[in-house]
Amino acid sequence: MMYRGCSVRPVGARALATRLSKAVVACGLASAVALGVASSGAARPVVQQRGDRQLTIVPRLVSAHGTATVGDSSAYLMVYFKDDTHSIYFATSRDGFAFTDVNGGRPILAGRSIADQKGVRDPHIMRGPDGAFYMAMTDLHIFGQREGLRTTEWERPEKDYGWGNNRNLLLMKSVDLLHWTLAKVDVSRLFPAYRDAGNAWAPETIYDPTTRRMMVYFTTRIGNGPNFMVASQANDAFTTLTTVPEKILDYPRSAVNTIDADITLVGGKYRMFYVAHEKPGSIRQAVSTRVDRGYVYDARKIDPETVAAEAPNLWRRHGTNTWVLMYDVFGVTPNNMGFAETKDFVTFRNIGRFNDPGSPMKATNFVQPKHGAVMAVTPKEVERLERYFGGRR
């Protein structure tokens, strides 16, 4: 196996404390840190729900590189979350039209197990040029008070830090999609310029060829000010950010909230899709020749929806020049994913939402996915996930 770690089985609180103290001796200090013994910022033990398999959190990866080749990546993996659980889900597809949840519609990673706010949102997943997988998400539970997870509506006062305020980004890395490292990154503590940051939302990752590092970009704000989008470089282990976040889009009206950037390299140009909270709000596109700067503002609305949509994500249909723009249509009840196809990035053809009459897009065993991302994977990687979550090794 391409990981090294110590197992943590479901136990009572007293027994768990005993086992964690023994982990320092049995596994070494680094493993103990990842189990939450030596650092408050490190990952806590992931206790699996009985009868449910979950992704495994490990202290480190033996190999930093994956083995899959891009040419064999003819299948698809979608990551998403749900409002009712604030947890992470995987769904796979062999044709890019019909997606099936690998765990029967149950979470593959419980938000209560990994996040300070006991919930996660806005997951993104991608494969780096090293073959490893990078997953990032928001440490935030918007119903924390209602569910008895905290005594206040938000982590900090809304009047000072705004709706849905939070501190952490969650960064994860894997080489097999089953075993992942986990790091909590508090931007306000890392960078003095962001000590009053009101949030750190919707992180995504892309390779920066200039620095040869993974670039993490996300939405933030200062205090209760307008949201804007920034980017920072991650370290090789994908456990922290190493450069002060810098704004990646200068929107012409600075008072307008801009959120949910999604950047993809297409034909030598970086295409950013994002949400501008104009009236009405909509998905916009900006283009640059640099991954971290120089995006040119374009006022045109991209999504075909007549109701509110957010969380755009771009992916290509294997073996074609057709690109799919997926987005979270939260303006309908129940919420759903919407899709539009393009070949020229000028015209976007509406192909409907999951399971809508006439739409080719199908969700076979799940409903109400939110803020997702799709990446290309190999058929063998799909089979590995299906075997594992189906109870077969």
pLDDT at site 66? 72
What strands lie across the sheet with 282-288, from one edge to the other? 258-266, 269-276, 282-288
Q: Within 10 Å of residue 283's Cβ, how many Cβ atoms?
A: 24
Single-letter amino acid code for the residue at 187: V
Q: Within 10 Å of residue 12's Cβ, how many Cβ atoms?
A: 8
Q: Give 133's strand partners.
A: 127, 174
pLDDT digits (tens, 9 = 90+) for 283-299: 999 999 999 999 999 99
Q: Give 286's strand partners.
A: 272
pLDDT in tens, the chain (393 residues): 333 333 333 334 334 333 433 333 233 323 323 333 223 344 444 444 433 789 999 999 988 677 655 568 999 999 999 999 999 999 999 999 999 999 999 999 999 999 999 999 999 999 999 999 999 999 999 999 999 999 999 999 999 999 999 999 999 999 999 999 999 999 999 999 999 999 999 999 999 999 999 999 999 999 999 999 999 999 999 999 999 999 999 999 999 999 999 999 999 999 999 999 997 779 999 999 999 999 999 999 999 999 999 999 999 999 999 999 999 999 999 999 999 999 999 999 999 999 999 999 999 999 999 999 999 999 999 999 999 998 665
Locate all alpha helices (DSSP H) within the chain, ordered by sequence. 13-27, 29-34, 111-114, 158-161, 187-190, 379-389
Q: What tokens appear for 68 in the block? A: 């899959």
Strands 133-139 and 120-127: antiparallel
Strands 269-276 and 258-266: antiparallel
0.85 cut: is pTM over it? yes
